[in-house]
Structure 1
Amino acid sequence: MRLHGRDALVTGGSSGIGAAIATALTGAGARVTILGRDAAGLDAVARRGGAEPVVADLTTDAGLATAAAAAAEADLVVNAAGRGWAGDLGAMPPDELAALVTLDLVVPMQLARAAVPGMRRRGSGHLAFVSSIATVGVGGEAAYSASKAGLRAFAAALRHDVAGDRIGVTTVFPGAVDTPFFDRRGRRYDRRFPRMVPPDAVARRVLRAVERDRAEVFVPAWLSLAARVQGVAPAVFHRMAGRFG
Structure 2
Amino acid sequence: MDIRGAVAVVTGASSGIGAATATRLHAAGARLVLHGRDGGRLAELAERTGGVALTADFADPAAVRAAAAEINDRFAGVDILVNNAGIGWAGPFHEMAAEDVRRLVEVNLTAQLELTRALLPGMRARPSASVIFVTSIAGRAAVAGEAVYSAVKAGVDAFAESLRFESAGTGLRVGVVVPGVVDTEFFARRGRPYERGTPRPISAGRVAEAIVHAIERDRADVYIPRWLRLPILVRGVVPGVYRALAVRFGGSG
- TM-score bracket for the superposition, by shorter chain length: over 0.9
TM-score (norm 2): 0.93
Q: Does 1:202 align with 2:207?
A: yes
SS of the residue 1:41 aligns to:
helix
Match of 2:103 among 96, 99, 102: 99
Distance in 1 of aligned mates of 2:42 and 2:150:
27
Aligned-pair distance for 1:74?
1.2
Return closer, same or farther for 1:222/1:191 CA change in 2, 3 Å cut-off: same
Partners of 1:71 and 1:77 within 8 A in 2: no
Name 1:63's counterpart in structure 2: 63
Q: Does 1:168 align with 2:168?
A: no
Distance in 1 of aligned mates of 2:20 and 2:194:
20
Partners of 1:71 and 1:114 within 8 A in 2: no
Name 1:122's counterpart in structure 2: 126
TM-score (norm 1): 0.96
Q: Return 5+ residue gaps in structure 2 as ranges.
A: none
Moved over 4 A (4+): none
Name 1:218's counterpart in structure 2: 223
Matches within 5 A, 1:221-232: 221-232=226-237
SS of the residue 1:177 aligns to:
coil
Distance in 2 of aligned mates of 1:69 and 1:218:
32
> Could you tell which deviates more after superposition, 130-139 or 58-67?
58-67
Distance in 1 of aligned mates of 2:228 and 2:12:
24
Distance in 1 of aligned mates of 2:49 and 2:25:
9
Aligned-pair distance for 1:232?
2.4
Name 1:242's counterpart in structure 2: 247
Identity of aligned residues (%): 47
Distance in 2 of aligned mates of 1:82 and 1:13:
10
The total of aligned residue pairs comes to: 245
Distance in 2 of aligned mates of 1:223 and 1:70:
38
Name 1:23's counterpart in structure 2: 23
Letter in 1 for 2:41: G
Aligned-pair distance for 1:71?
5.6
Q: Does 1:84 align with 2:88?
A: yes
> Could you tell which deviates more after superposition, 28-37 or 63-72?
63-72
Match of 1:179 among 160, 176, 184: 184
CA RMSD of aligned residues (A): 1.2
Aligned-pair distance for 1:47?
3.2
Letter in 1 for 2:188: D
SS of the residue 2:125 aligns to:
helix
Distance in 1 of aligned mates of 2:198 and 2:106:
30
Distance in 1 of aligned mates of 2:45 and 2:226:
27
Q: Return 5+ residue gaps in structure 1 as ranges.
A: none
Letter in 2 for 1:54: L
